Chain A
Amino acid sequence: MKTLNDILLGLRRLSNNLAFTITSILVIVLGLALYLSSYSLSYNFSKPLSYAAGDRYVTVSTYYNDSEVYHFGSNFDGFAFNRLREQVTSFEEFGTYRFIKLSISDGELPRQYVGAEVLPSLLRKPGVEPILGRMFQDEDALPDSQPVAIIGHNIWQNYYSADPDIIGKTSRINGQAYTVVGVMPESFDYPFSQHIWLPLDTSRAVQPEGLHSLGVLGVLKEGVSRESAGAEMDALLEQLVADYPAYYSESRSIVLPHTQTFVSTGDVGQLFQAVTLIILLLATLNLGTLLFVRANNRQQELAIRFAIGASQWEISRQILLESLILCVIGLLLSLGIAEFALGYIEERLRINMLSSDFPGTMSSWIDFSMDARAIGIATSLTLLVWLASGGFAAYKATRKDNNSVLAGGSKGGTEKNRVVMARVIVGFEVLASTFLLIVCCLLTASIIAAYRMDFGTPTDDYYTGMFELWDPRYEDEGERRRFLETLQRQLTEQGVVVDATVGSALPGQGGFLRRYNIADRDLSQDQQYPEQTLIWIANNYFQMLEVPLVEGRYFEETDNADSLPVIIVNRAFAQTHWPGESALGKQVQLDPDNGGVWHTVVGVSAHIIHGSPLGNYDNNPTLYRPLGQYAPVVLSLAVKLNRPLTEVEAEALLLEAAQDIDRDLAITSIRPLQRVTEMSMQGMDMVAQYSVAFALGTFILAIIGVYGNISRSVTQRTNEVGIRRALGSSNRHILWVFQREAMHYLLWGAAVGGMLAVAVSGSLAGFFNDILSFVPTVVPSVLLLIGVLVTLASYLPARRALTIEPGEALHYE
């Protein structure tokens, strides 16, 4: 009953002081909601799979020792996989798969889906049974067996209209007949978010370099750690390199939880977690200060309670109860806001995935809804915040000299410990606020600049699509080239199309990395040749995309399979290798490890950003080869329109043009070039929004914390102002004393917080390559902002203290 009364009293008091209540709750919500959403983002990317032993599913990748360049997933060939599978002992299942876009052409229009060729045993491993038909058997993967496929629930429902007799029917997949043997349940998204599965046969890879682009997915034996499995893999890889030095270069393994393989918040996620932790710490500090100030304001009441017999615990309890009420309200609001923010992010991610180059649903483990663990962590953090802030306020309140308070004054003077404590708190506030604001502003500025970056080509009036020529009819490279020529011709015959071009990557799309060497020089380091992006392009690629030549010529009809192998390099490549001289006529060897062909440079192009502008792509040296000399299987198409089209019109235009040539061919990812360049940001818009949210949150906390603490510490020294005036100090001198102290905080904040922020931001320069270029703008701006805050926070209360007559100031409490 007494506690209930205390709670009611606390509620009444909080409602009577709405400014304090709202400020305190805002502080809690800012700290908790930002931390919770950041934590949930990181945690949800690493949830274990829901299958038996789901936490033991791991992806094995490799990375080169020297370059530290990660090659996630698809980086084994069939021969290496078979050998590793025979030798490895850490895994109870060691399987492989390969992503593949599969075009089903049973209906009027072909549809393309993301599928996987997968080792039958790997597909069986989760123990999920098809809802119709059967699972793959090992025999299904044998070379002479009948081609079979298992389809996902989505295809069965939408493409085959939930045909109950689908099992045993033949489906045209990539132009080949496959028998559908199974339909998987809706929730089955394995290895990722595939909708169709074909059996993979690795036994045919009896020599190195056969059956490329395999991802390795395994299930660790019980009790085996990822580290020890990695150590075993390293040893096996070392032996592989020793046995086949001509084919494999020195590399080390990386064993990651399967759910972190493709979608991971990575370094940025870790940075955000650290940033939100600091924000939470700031929030706790601010709340503690607010509660302490409030307890101080009630000192007379608390002293009276003390005088009439309340114990120190009873006095503390009142303060703790009030802070608990604030924390609980803050927690509930934080959970709601974090849930809303996570829902927004999930929706954005879902939309991004649907419109990605591998369109599909999100994997089931990417689930941002707040679970019991997140709520538990939120509750624990709230308790910590409550104990730290409420406990601090209660402790300080009960340490007051109540006799002195009741007698109407203290013993005078400012206690050194109190001053030191205030300085430490203010110093930390300024330092942390400076650090956080600089980091968040640098991130935001870097991402905004990337969005505004010139990709090297106009993007208006261009539409793009992607297609893959896996059909056996295109096995002959000459057939692929003929198809491309026909497609370009077919498209330009449409009235709305000004021109059409094809390439293995368009602006904003990443190309494949290829090792190279140049004539008269050996570029290899530690037996490794450098690698750069190589893109295969149609002859009119540069002209149509309005990319000028720096020197030389474009590719021409005469650059064909029978002529001299030629290459165009971009300006960055030319300047890297032939600074101050013409690149024309120079020789570039591709695939030098295997004695690859030498190519003559015939042109130097201006720069196009291929891939994300966030990495080093904006300055990446790039190589271009003509489709006339080789036509790859996976290609992108771009058309220039003489008038804008809707997405539906553009889709119809491209699909019909392709259909006229090949009814089995699906053109996917049809979208404006502008959208392609935007997508190259890889969800960085969300990072930018998060950075802005962090920056705003930090700024609000800085206003409350830095301003509040400095002005409080100055107000606390009103008594000192009286002493100084009594001793003859002028008003100007007193103002200067406080301003000078404020400047000390600013200098410390700038020196330590600023340098720390620049160092941390610099560590992200590999990802946000130009982040440090914003330091000259962002750092002074943030310092100016904090400077104004600090100056006002010391000036205004000092000015106020000076309006009090020195005699009154001396007795100021």
Chain B
Amino acid sequence: MSESPLIKLEGIQKIFFTDEIETWALDEIHLEVAQGEYLSIAGPSGCGKSTLLSVMGLLNSSTEGQYFLDGEDVASLNSAEQARVRNRQIGFIFQAFNLIGDMTVFENVELPLTYRKELKRKERKQKVQEALEKVDMAHRMKHFPSQLSGGQQQRVAIARALTGDPKVLLADEPTGNLDSKNAQIVMELLDDLHKQGSTICMVTHDPRSALRAQRQVTLFDGKIVDDQPTSNLRLETEVLTSLPA
């Protein structure tokens, strides 16, 4: 990687304190993600995948370490500046969709844009329209989330993540609440976004989803224990499946 990485984590630690017990969710994480890269974060339950994604998304602060996003030390920003970063540079896709139930599809997707004062209503409308068209949900923009299937809700959530043209998309188990058919649709959508140049970091414990990424980081007990291109993993999988039982 000759260019400076889009994301650079240096010595990130995250410790949760419950009564007198310290839980090390993340331990000395060093990670770089390049512009346009498609990264999957894997590992067993409780290994710290989602915590790592939360730290990358500035949803949780780290206990120790530095975090540079596009060269800027975002971990040291105050909460208002971090909010600005989340709004303009990061797009989130959650396992539980996290749409706001009493807002229509349009309003949900428009929500991040409403925090940008420079955007006029007409511009916001156009961006929302484009985002919804990308996920093929423009025809349901007047519906409420409860009127949609799980797959459709996740597509709306992706549209919401895309609408602000973020530098990176952070997806936390994006297919975790979906059936296989809808999961397939969502993953193909992420593939398309990647092909169009999006940087994606995705937490998943589904090996098939993980293999769609270019690179996979594996966590265990809060530490990165493996970091390699998924092409290697695909090869390993092929070798393993070709061996006689």
Give A contacts to B, CB under 8 Å. Answer: 409-420, 719-720, 722-733, 805-808, 810
Contact among B60, B86, B146 with A416 in the assembled complex (CB-CB below 8 Å): B146
Complex contact A807–B94 (CB within 8 A): no
Complex contact B101–A728 (CB within 8 A): no
Chain B nearest Cβ from A10, distance in angstroms: 31
0 or 1 for each of B33-77: is its CB under 8 Å from A? (1 = yes): 000000000000000000100100111110000000000000000
B147 closest partner in A (C-beta): A416
Complex contact A416–B87 (CB within 8 A): no
Contacts of A409 in B (CB 8 A): 96
B86 closest partner in A (C-beta): A728
Complex contact A413–B96 (CB within 8 A): yes
Complex contact A412–B54 (CB within 8 A): no
Contacts of A728 in B (CB 8 A): 83-88, 90, 112, 115, 164
Most buried by A among B84, B94, B101, B144: B101
| B187 CB–A CB distance under 8 Å | no
Give B contacts to A, CB under 8 Å. Answer: 51, 54, 57-61, 79-80, 83-88, 90, 92, 94-102, 111-112, 115, 144-146, 150, 153, 160, 164, 177
State the CA gap A430–B95 with chains docked (Å): 37
Chain B nearest Cβ from A2, distance in angstroms: 37
Closest 5 interchain pairs by CB? A728-B87, A412-B96, A807-B59, A807-B54, A807-B60
| CB-CB under 8 A for A411 and B115, given A416-B144, A727-B86, A728-B88 | no
State the CA gap A417–B147 with chains docked (Å): 12
Complex contact B60–A808 (CB within 8 A): yes
B87 closest partner in A (C-beta): A728
Q: Besides the contacts A727-B115, A728-B86, A807-B59, what 11 more A-B pairs have beta carbons closer than 8 Å?
A: A409-B96, A410-B96, A413-B100, A415-B101, A719-B98, A726-B92, A728-B112, A730-B83, A731-B80, A733-B115, A805-B59
State the CA gap A807–B96 with chains docked (Å): 13
Most buried by B among A419, A727, A731, A805: A727
Complex contact A416–B57 (CB within 8 A): no
| CB-CB under 8 A for A726 and B59, given A412-B98, A416-B144 | yes
State the CA gap A164–B48 with chains docked (Å): 103
Complex contact B83–A731 (CB within 8 A): yes
- The majority secondary structure among interface residues of chain A is helix
Chain A nearest Cβ from B94, distance in angstroms: 7
Complex contact B102–A414 (CB within 8 A): yes
Contacts of B80 in A (CB 8 A): 730-732
Complex contact A413–B86 (CB within 8 A): no
State the CA gap A733–B111 with chains docked (Å): 12
State the CA gap A420–B100 with chains docked (Å): 13
State the CA gap A280–B146 with chains docked (Å): 34
Complex contact A810–B98 (CB within 8 A): yes
Chain A nearest Cβ from B153, distance in angstroms: 8
Chain B nearest Cβ from A639, distance in angstroms: 74
A409 closest partner in B (C-beta): B96
Complex contact A415–B83 (CB within 8 A): no
Complex contact A420–B83 (CB within 8 A): no
Contacts of A415 in B (CB 8 A): 101, 146
Chain A nearest Cβ from B72, distance in angstroms: 15
Contacts of A417 in B (CB 8 A): 146
Contact among A412, A420, A723, A726 with B102 in the assembled complex (CB-CB below 8 Å): A420
Contacts of B160 in A (CB 8 A): 727
Complex contact B97–A411 (CB within 8 A): yes
Complex contact A729–B83 (CB within 8 A): yes
Chain B nearest Cβ from A423, distance in angstroms: 8
A410 closest partner in B (C-beta): B96
State the CA gap A419–B99 with chains docked (Å): 13
Contacts of B58 in A (CB 8 A): 806
Complex contact B97–A726 (CB within 8 A): no
Contacts of A418 in B (CB 8 A): 101
Complex contact B96–A727 (CB within 8 A): no
State the CA gap A730–B100 with chains docked (Å): 17
State the CA gap A410–B97 with chains docked (Å): 11
Chain B nearest Cβ from A132, distance in angstroms: 80
Contacts of A731 in B (CB 8 A): 79-80, 83
